[in-house]
């Protein structure tokens, strides 16, 4: 049995049961150190209570079904602010926030996320040329050219 596949099924069952259609699974990975890491997010955020419910349900079912034969630690959380965006729903919930984007060619782009489609993100990017006033342009960046996207936190 594929452990990660079973974990995905269990998380989705519990999300349906707690009737929060805005919640979604970001990832489920069994790491070599024995940590089973489940990341769940929500269009309107996710609280500790929901993480605990998912953790209890998944943990109980995994034990009941004896899915994992070795010792493991189960961790259910929301992706931290330093976790890269990987799903359209994660981009959607961050519209209006500043993003740092690494491109496949090695370049970096920064701007305010204005929209997301199935195959591209749109950002308002500030272009500053020496001796000229900074201008803001809307840039369309194809998703296949992105290797990493993170939300930029400003403490200004």
Rg of the chain taking only CA atoms, in angstroms: 19
In whole angstroms, what separates CA 2 from the centre of its chain? Answer: 22
Domains of the chain plus CATH, in order, are 3-77 (3.30.300.20), 88-151 (2.30.30.100)
Q: Which residue has the tokens 């931290």?
A: 80
Tell me the pTM: 0.75
| Residue 99 CB partners (closer than 8 Å, separation 6+) | 85, 110, 111, 112, 113, 121, 123, 149, 150, 151, 152
How many angstroms separate the Cα of 27 from the Cα of each of 16, 20, 34, 97? 17, 18, 16, 22
- What does each of the 156 residues of the chain score in pLDDT, given as a tens digit? 588 899 999 999 999 998 888 999 999 999 999 899 999 999 888 889 999 999 999 999 999 998 888 889 999 999 877 788 888 888 888 889 899 999 999 999 999 999 999 899 999 998 888 888 888 889 999 999 999 999 898 776
- Which H or E run includes 51? helix 48-65
Q: What is the pLDDT of residue 1?
A: 59
């Amino acid at each position: 049995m594929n452990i990660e596949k079973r974990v995905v099924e269990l998380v989705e069952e519990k999300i349906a049961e707690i009737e929060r259609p805005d919640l979604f699974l970001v990832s489920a990975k069994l790491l070599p150190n024995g940590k089973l890491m489940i990341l769940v997010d929500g269009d309107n955020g996710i609280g500790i209570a929901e993480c605990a419910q998912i953790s209890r349900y998944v943990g109980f079912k995994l034990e009941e079904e004896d899915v994992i034969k070795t010792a493991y630690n189960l961790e259910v959380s929301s992706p931290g602010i330093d976790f890269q965006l990987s799903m359209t729903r994660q981009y959607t919930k961050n519209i209006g926030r500043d993003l740092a984007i690494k491109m496949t060619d090695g370049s970096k782009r920064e701007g305010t996320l204005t929209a997301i489609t199935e195959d591209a993100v749109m950002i308002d990017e500030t272009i500053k040329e020496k001796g000229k006033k900074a201008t803001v342009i809307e840039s369309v960046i194809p998703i296949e050219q992105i290797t990493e996207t993170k939300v930029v936190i400003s403490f200004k």
